[in-house]
Chains A and B, each alone.
Chain A
Amino acid sequence: MLKQVEGSVAIAESVALCRPEVICAYPITPQTHIVEALSRMVKDGRLHPCEYINVESEFAALSVAIGASACGARAYTATASQGILFMAEAVYNASGLGLPMVMTVGNRAIGAPINIWNDHTDSMALRDAGWIQLYAETNQEAADLHIQAFRLSEAISLPVMVCVDGFILTHAYERVDVPTQEQVDAYLPRYEPRQVLDPAEPVTIGAMVGPEAFMEVRYLAHHRQMEAIGLIPELAAEFHAVFGRDSGGLLHAYRTEDADTVVCALGSVNGTIKDVVDELRDDGVRIGSISLCSFRPFPMAALASAIGTAKRVVTIEKSLSIGIGGNLSHNLRMALQGRGGEVHTVIAGLGGRSITRESLRRVFREAIENRLEPLSFLDLDRGVVERQLERERQVRRSGPAAEAILRDIGAVAARPV
């Protein structure tokens, strides 16, 4: 049914249609509206049977999901930013134990400095934790990916993170086609656990594993992710058959045929990128873009094929791997091994800074004209940085850097009264 709804509400509706049996909630902006909406559905009996648990931390939230999943229940939680770091230990644990569950990440920056706005630093920090990571481009895809995520997670016994850009998607009111219960029931079978805590058949889960077998156990998770590379497109195709629309899959290629320049990015920024691609195409520039939906597993073959014979790839990345640069480009270079072409990493939109069409157009032009550095920072104010570095050279006790920079740029809150 078509609805004009907030992204978070669309996600909550989708999750509810998947009949989760245990939901753990801990508030953190910007995912909070999702668990709020789900709490209403459980409380008014619309989502039943379901245990909704208000926990005392994100660490507990994921731990409750681990216990529930190990007892054969379909488990869901949502988090963001500091929350995913606070639960980091349990994030690794859930995948190491091979327990299926779905978690929404309302992507948000990581402090310090504390910042509630969108970037991908949070989920990127946990990219190697063994979870499948899917990134939604639109609110429709965000809603749809959750349905596919439960199916995928339970099929391969690995947890799945659905990454949704905070505010840009979670708080945006857009038209979303919310599926019917019949459609979801037809697509998502009952959860049949591979391992379950049952007094009738006692098992020990989570035994200590030494050097003699640890590598094999961890390798299994990698193997499952490699299997997921085949399964994700199959599930997207089956989704299309039931729901009548394209959502998910490994990636979405846009006007990449014959492209000399291919832009690659995760999440909602792909909307802006596609607009700029259209503008440049109108000017006769051979450019296309790829929205990478599955970051883990990283679909190397599909990506290499979509990039084709392009001369250069520009990544627009909302996370900074401090000390080297890009996470996406670092992975993408693996997909391009043995072939020519340049990869330009553009770090953009950290802490919610707007990524404008104008800035993207400029940076793509620079790439095409061979003027773009291998690593660049979109709309970074070098003057502000230089002045702070100069202050630090001049005075040993230069004080907190963030406050000095705010004073420099004249942010209202930093002005002396």
Chain B
Amino acid sequence: MSGPAQVKFYQTGTFTIGNRLLDVSVRSVQADENRSNSLTSGHRACQGCGEALGARYALDTAMRATGNRIVVANATGCLEVFSTPYPESSWQMPWLHSLFGNAPAVATGMAAAMKVKGRTDVRVIAQGGDGGTVDIGFGCLSGMFERNDDVLYICYDNEAYMNTGVQRSSATPPAARTATTPAVGGEPGNVMHQGKNVPLIAMAHGIPYVATATVADLRDLEYKVDRAMGIHGARYLHVHVPCPLGWGSAPHDTVKVARLAVECGLFPVFEAVDGEVVGRRTIRRRVATDEYLKLQSRFRHLFSPKRDEERLAAIQAIADRNIARFGLLGEGVPA
């Protein structure tokens, strides 16, 4: 079985999960009044920041899973900057920021120190945005994976360098407008058919656990962090986190945008053990990619002044391929 136990208790016509209807023992970590608030209030994230949401969900779960015994290495980026303006800090656990590109290696050092000191009860998490993970930190990430160091690496993917003002990363989707892929010229926005899929690359390392998750699905995200903390060795969690500022979406639409990314097939939510996919979150109500793209001004040039039929079709084809590849419409697959 994959994913948290399926409980069908949402009201007809909505997808809202009524956490209150559940037994206390199976409620989400976020619903627990004693949650650790790992990334506590007072930080300077923008309104509607998906990364802040994702980081709190993930780390609160990791804290519960380990009895609050974690240490965290954080790459440079939005998450680091908005959480620790000196001398303030929003972090409720031991936390170290070293550099932009070395968080996985710093975490390796932490894990080695804990092992040599016999503190194997203390677990190590490294985290960063997509720039720190899939671009500048990629060498260190791959090294940490291949050595199978006892680290959970969490990438909060908001699909561009947001901290420096929305420049393209290798996680930026096709056609998206960024400050370095401006919406000008014959093919405005990011180049088509570039970029890399780091969850699949992580799987190719044969590490024990790889998963994707989204801030639109709290229970699934919590389940994956919890499962990852129960495993030793290198683990990778790739969390899709909308950025209202960079994506040009409304701050109150963060969860909605994240959900549409899943439901249109552009962001497949799955998990893999030892390099093999063992579970996926199936799409409940499939939508066209247009529905997802239209909520974000970074894709506006695909719709006006006239529809860019060719590239919109190419983006839909990417979603279709994901749906086929991961079996996202599969019947009978536990959600």
Contact = CB atoms under 8 A, between A and B. Distances in A.
Nearest to B71: A197
A69 interface: yes
Range of interface residues on chain A?
A: 35 or more
B18 interface: no
A63 B99 contact: yes
A53 B147 contact: yes
A251 interface: no
A49 B119 CA distance: 13
A110 to B, nearest CB: 21
Interface string B96-119: 111101100111111111111100
Interface in A209-243: 209-210, 213
B250 interface: no
B2 interface: no
Nearest to A20: B116
A51 B71 CA distance: 18
B98 to A, nearest CB: 5
B109 A56 contact: no
B112 A199 contact: no
A22 B142 CA distance: 20
A49 B117 CA distance: 8
Nearest to B100: A89
Interface in B103-139: 105-117, 122, 139
A213 to B, nearest CB: 6
A49 B99 CA distance: 28
B143 A207 contact: no
A67 B94 contact: no
A93 interface: yes
B139 A73 contact: no
A61 B116 CA distance: 17
Interface residues of B, number: 45
B95 interface: yes
A68 B116 CA distance: 10
Interface stretch (B80-88, B241-249, B325-333): B80-88
Given A56-B142, A59-B105, A97-B98, A70 B110 contact: yes
A90 B102 contact: yes
Contacts of B98: 63, 66-67, 90, 93, 97, 206
A71 interface: yes
A199 B113 contact: no
Given A208-B80, A213-B86, A64 B112 contact: yes
Contact of A210 (B86, B92, B101, B105): B86
A229 B69 CA distance: 40
Contacts of B109: 22, 24, 53, 63-71, 73, 75
B108 to A, nearest CB: 5
B86 A71 contact: no
B140 interface: yes
B194 to A, nearest CB: 24
Contacts of B114: 71
B179 interface: no
Given A66-B98, A197-B71, A207-B85, A71 B113 contact: yes
A179 interface: no
Contacts of A64: 105-106, 108-109, 112
Contacts of B81: 208
B28 interface: no
Nearest to B114: A71
B44 to A, nearest CB: 10
A184 interface: no
A325 interface: no
B273 interface: no
Contact of B102 (A59, A70, A213): A59
Contact of A197 (B68, B96, B105, B112): B96
Nearest to B106: A67
Interface in A389-410: none
Interface in A45-98: 49-51, 53-57, 59-61, 63-73, 75, 89-90, 93, 97
Nearest to B123: A199
B288 interface: no
Given A51-B115, A67-B105, A60 B143 contact: yes
A61 B112 CA distance: 13
A305 interface: no
A188 B108 CA distance: 26
B89 interface: yes
A208 B85 CA distance: 5
A203 interface: yes
Contact of B86 (A67, A73, A207): A207
Nearest to B72: A197
B95 A202 contact: yes
A207 B83 CA distance: 9
A205 interface: yes
From A24, A69, A201, A204, name the one whose CB has the most chain B CB atoms within 10 angstroms: A204
Interface in B216-242: none
B323 interface: no
B139 A204 contact: no
Contact of A54 (B84, B99, B102, B147): B147
A163 B183 CA distance: 52
A72 B116 CA distance: 10
Contacts of B102: 59-60, 63, 66, 89-90
Contacts of A381: none
A61 B114 CA distance: 17
A205 B109 CA distance: 15
B94 A206 contact: no
A159 to B, nearest CB: 13
Contacts of B80: 208
Interface string B145-158: 01100000000000
Contact of B94 (A21, A59, A60, A203): A203
Contacts of B86: 207-210, 213
A198 interface: yes
Interface string B264-282: 0000000000000000000
Given A199-B69, A208-B81, A208-B86, A63 B105 contact: yes
B45 interface: no
A69 B107 CA distance: 11
11 contacts: A21-B117, A22-B112, A22-B116, A55-B105, A63-B105, A66-B98, A67-B105, A197-B71, A198-B71, A202-B94, A210-B86
Please provide the 6 A-B residue pairs with the shortest distance between their CB atoms, ordered closest to farther. Answer: A67-B109, A56-B143, A71-B113, A206-B97, A63-B105, A63-B102
